[in-house]
A and B are shown apart, each in its own frame.
Chain A
Amino acid sequence: MSDLIPLHFLSRGEVAEIDQLVGGAEDVHRLEELGLRSGVMIEMLQPGTPCIVSLAGHRLCFRQNDTVGILVRAGVAR
């Protein structure tokens, strides 16, 4: 089991599993509706702020702020 890290620590091409979304219930709910939820695999396409991740072949760009963040479990083989 690898450690939990914030999403934006991933480097280009790295694949990880979303472990949990942290933040206000309303913001987290929105992210989940868009498909960002625990258990799904994501790939970092463009690191930075905001970053672009691929989620089941679809691209989302995401910038976390003080109130919402995504924790991922990295080091999962692609």
Chain B
Amino acid sequence: MPASNTAPPITVALIGNPNTGKSTLFSALCGVRQRVGNFPGVTVEKKVGQTSFHDRAFSIVDLPGSYSLAPRSPDEMVAVDVLLGRQDAVDAPDVVLCIVDASNLERNLYLVSQVLELGRPTVLALNMVDVAKEKGITLDLEALADRLEIPVVAVQANKRIGLTELKAALAAAVNRKSSPLPSPFPEAFQREVELLVESGVRPRYLAERLLLDTSGYLAAAEIPGVGRDTHSAVTEARERLSNAGVPIPAVEAMCRYQWVGEVTRGIFQREPARERGLTDRIDRVLTHRWLGSLFFAFVMVVMFQSVFYVAEPASALIDGMNEYASNLVMQWLAPGALRSLLISGVIEGVGGVLVFLPQIFVLFFFIAILEDCGYMARAAYLMDRLMSRVGLSGKSFIPLLSSFACAIPGIMAARVIENPKDRLVTILIAPLMSCSARLPVYTLLIGAFIPDRRYLGVIGLKGLTMFAMYAIGIVAATVVALVLRRTIVKGAAPPFVMELPSYKLPGLDIVVHRVLERGWSFVRRAGTLIFAVTIVVWAAGYYPRNPANIDPSLLAAQTRLEAELDKLNEAAPEVDEQRRERMVELADVQGRIAGQYLRFSVLGRMGQLIEPAVKPLGWDWRIGCAAIASLPAREVVIATLGVIYNLGEEESESSETLAQTLKKAKWEESGQLVFNTPVALSIMVFFALCAQCASTLAVMRRETNSWKWPAFTFVYMTVLAYLGAMVTYQVGMLFVAS
């Protein structure tokens, strides 16, 4: 809020159907002055933006898009809570701004009738009047405002037309007296609502919803003032209504559409469509059974290819920066704990994770564009045919696709799925999609250990391996969904209905904003959680640094070699044969000392304890440690591998890349190389299938409202990962041996 303002900002709640241009209007009003957070207790995204008009500040809360103000999901519950002033985090709105699509007025007014029943000052933004005109729709704006008894402002949010008038209307509406719309329901229904209100259920709208909600969502939600007595009262009321010929919940649609019919009678006309619009013509191709599927495959290939395309140059660039930073630290700091922490811990750890920022940007960029231009809904339509075979619907496609970037927004996106069983299965399999945090593991190991072969001239083995990792997740998800749908989450495939919005050019500001938002949350994770885990792992691998554990002959050799080198340095400044020999010898001794320190560290002892368990996967204890340390967040593994393998190295070589370090790592007993292709594949398969993400499990807990499902997911994915990795390694070794 600008400092010049003294009056408190006007709180505006923005609500509307999906695909009415709500996000566009929000961006047009607030620009970059918006903050994204969560409503407390739920993972519903809370977007609040600031704008001003004639020195009066506005604080605009963007509510989730919804067709109806009937809470049947957390998203819709938040919208109702905010509008009723029951959300602690947001002040009760001074004004409700309802946006409707002028070319789809009848359906949009359904939601408006619900909003008007709340009795708050309301302003109607009539969006896309230009599109409506092109479609041959005529509408008398003034007559509509008269009938609704609220200000109606025509806007074109994408062209920023009508915004000043809209703000003026909002400012003026604050002090307007407003009374709730007379109930559109029959008298018998109103009487029952009145009875509920008298028994303590307030406000009236909530009583109405309790009566209408046969889905059981509201009954399960803990609402103050609603107890067991209320529920039995509701059941009795429904029975009385049913006997009186008032069907619940069908009466709502009947009455509201009747109201809509009365409001629009004579002032809203639609000419029969003269010709196919552009969207319909594009859809002839893009939703065509074969052509559409071909195009869809093409889009997916381009998307994932682009992600991998930026991977290499970006890693090279950021690796270079890490190396530069390491060298700087080495120049400034003497060897010791702080230098080890900065180089092995911070730079290798956090820096190693930031390498993947460009790929995450690219993936989110594509998803944001596909969503904003309207193609995502077509993709969901095309995918429904496949998804319905495993007991899901096309609606699960968008959450699952988002999960390729990150399972957290993916699981949250599952909220658009109304069917609870469908939604649950989608949430449970979402973490199997290879998210961007797995990319680091794939990129590192494929780069280092998969041979650079080509088939038919163009298909590279490295690319194929990457594809295989994604495919493993998808195949596993399919099987898990099928099994779940036949066992613990039984039920027929739900009906599927979804709006296909008109195509439009993606709004640059919306796309950029979404990409930056997601990218920033990744950087924040790298800066906090990953940073913390990195330091813990470093400390566990560094302490207790007790020289008593080190072979005394090694320490003696180090002292002797250092003294000899000092003497040689004094004698002659140039490096001769003799000195080079000493230096190589010293490096070897230092490496062994570092290795012994690591072995006797907290981490080393733990690692040796678990080595028998990970040996069948082809892993040494260090990989095992890295995998365990990355249980809270899988991207940590790069950092952890860097820290563990670097701690076991002499520091002078810590500027080499992680891939080079891994290639040289040896088993401590036999001296054989730890990593070969089957080991690398085994690690990748493990990471593809394992639930190593505390944030995902936490979001799952919030979305399913129970610890049962995250616990289930963790167990089934870990078992799957262990078995998958073991089979991969054992089968892989057969090929290596032959």
Q: Which of B103, B252, B253, B381 contacts A61 (CB 8 A)?
A: B381
Q: Which residues of B contact A36 (CB under 8 A)?
A: 497
Say yes or no: A61 contacts B67, CB within 8 Å: no
**What 20 new A-B contacts, CB under 8 Å, besides A29-B253, A57-B277?**
A23-B495, A26-B249, A30-B418, A33-B68, A33-B70, A34-B67, A35-B104, A46-B283, A52-B283, A52-B287, A52-B500, A56-B270, A57-B135, A57-B270, A59-B280, A60-B497, A60-B500, A61-B381, A61-B498, A65-B494
Q: Which residue from B68, B257, B273, B289 sits with its C-beta under 8 Å from A37?
A: B257
**B590 at interface, CB cutoff 8 A:** no
A45 interface hit (Cβ, 8 Å): yes
Any A CB within 8 A of the CB of B184: no
Shortest C-beta distance, B339 to chain A (Å), equals 61
Asked if residues B499 and A60 are in contact (CB atoms below 8 Å), the reply is yes
A67 within 8 A of B: yes
Q: How far is the CB of A73 from chain B (nearest CB, A)?
A: 18
Q: What are 8 inter-chain pairs, A to B, with CB distance below 8 A?
A: A25-B247, A26-B215, A34-B497, A45-B283, A50-B385, A57-B270, A61-B394, A67-B492
Number of interface residues of A (CB under 8 A): 35
Total interface residues on B, CB under 8 Å, equals 45
Contacts A29-B249, A48-B289, A52-B381; is A34 near B135 (CB within 8 Å)?
Answer: no
CB contact between A49 and one of B253, B277, B385 (< 8 Å): that residue: B385
B252: nearest chain-A partner, CB-CB: A29
Whether B107 pairs with A34 at a CB distance below 8 angstroms is: yes
B493 within 8 A of A: yes
- Nearest-CB residue, chain A, relative to B67: A33
Chain A residues with CB below 8 A from B252, complex form: 29
Minimum CB–CB distance from A44 to chain B (whole Å) comes to 12
1/0 per residue, CB under 8 A from B, across A41-78: the answer is 00001101110101011111111111110000000001
CB distance from B633 to the nearest CB of A (A): 37
**Would you call the interface of chain A mostly helix, strand, loop, or mixed?**
mixed
Within 8 Å CB of A16, what residues of B?
A: none
Q: A54: shortest Cβ distance to chain B, in Å?
A: 7
A28-B497 CB under 8 A given contacts A50-B381, A63-B393: no
- CB-CB under 8 A from B467, the residues of chain A are none
Interchain CA distance A61-B378 in the complex, whole Å: 9
Cβ contacts B271-295/A at 8 Å (1 or 0 each):
0110001011001000111000000
Q: Are A59 and B283 also in contact (CB < 8 A) when A30-B418, A37-B257, A50-B384 are?
A: yes
Given A33-B68, A33-B110: A28 and B215 interface contact (C-beta under 8 Å): no
B residues with a Cβ closer than 8 A to A are: 67-68, 70, 103-104, 106-107, 110, 135, 214-215, 247-250, 252-253, 257, 270, 272-273, 277, 279-280, 283, 287-289, 377, 381, 384-385, 388, 393-394, 418, 492-500
**B500 near A61: Cβ-Cβ < 8 Å:** yes
Given A61-B384, A61-B394, A78-B272: A27 in contact with B495 (beta carbons within 8 A): yes
Are the C-beta atoms of A61 and B496 separated by less than 8 Å?
yes
Cα distance A63–B387 in the bound complex, in angstroms: 12
For A37, the chain B residues whose CB sits under 8 A away are 253, 257
Task: Identify B493's interface contact among A28, A54, A62, A65, CB under 8 A.
Answer: A65
What CA separation (Å) do A46 and B292 show in the bound complex? 12
CA distance A41 to B524 in the complex (A): 51
Cα A50 to Cα B393 in complex, Å, equals: 10
Min CB–CB distance A78 → chain B (angstroms): 7
Q: How many angstroms between the C-alpha atoms of A46 and B498 in the bound complex?
A: 14
CA distance A74 to B243 in the complex (A): 34
Q: Is A25 a contact of B393 with CB atoms below 8 Å?
A: no
List the 4 closest A-B pairs by CB distance, nearest first: A32-B253, A59-B500, A35-B107, A63-B496
Report how far A52 CA is from B500 CA in the complex, Å: 9
Task: Please give, as numbers and ranges, the residues of chain A lying within 8 Å of B135 by CB-CB distance.
Answer: 57
Instruction: Report chain B residues within 8 Å CB of A65.
Output: 492-496
Smallest beta-carbon distance A24→chain B, Å: 9
User: With A35-B107, A54-B280, A56-B104 in contact, is A30–B497 under 8 Å at CB?
Assistant: yes
- Complex interface: chain B residues within 8 A of A31 (CB): 495, 497
Cα A67 to Cα B422 with chains together (Å): 15
Is B497 touching A62 in the complex (CB atoms < 8 A)? yes
Most buried by A among B248, B253, B277, B384: B253
Shortest CB-to-CB span from B627 to chain A, Å, is 42
Assess whether A64 is in contact with B495, with CB atoms less than 8 Å apart: yes
Instruction: Give the complex CA separation of A35 and B74 in angstroms.
Output: 23
Chain A residues contacting B68 (CB-CB under 8 Å) are 33
Minimum C-beta distance from B216 to chain A (A): 9
B545 CB, min distance to chain A CBs, angstroms? 64
CB distance from B142 to the nearest CB of A (A): 23
Distance between A17 CB and nearest chain B CB, rounded to angstroms: 14
Nearest CB on A from B99, distance (A) = 16
Q: B67 contacts which chain A residues (CB < 8 A)?
A: 33-34
Q: Nearest chain-A residue to B110 (Cβ)?
A: A33
On whether the beta carbons of B250 and A25 are closer than 8 Å, the reply is yes
Nearest-CB distance from B184 to chain A (Å)? Answer: 14
In the bound complex, CA of A48 to CA of B494 (Å):
17
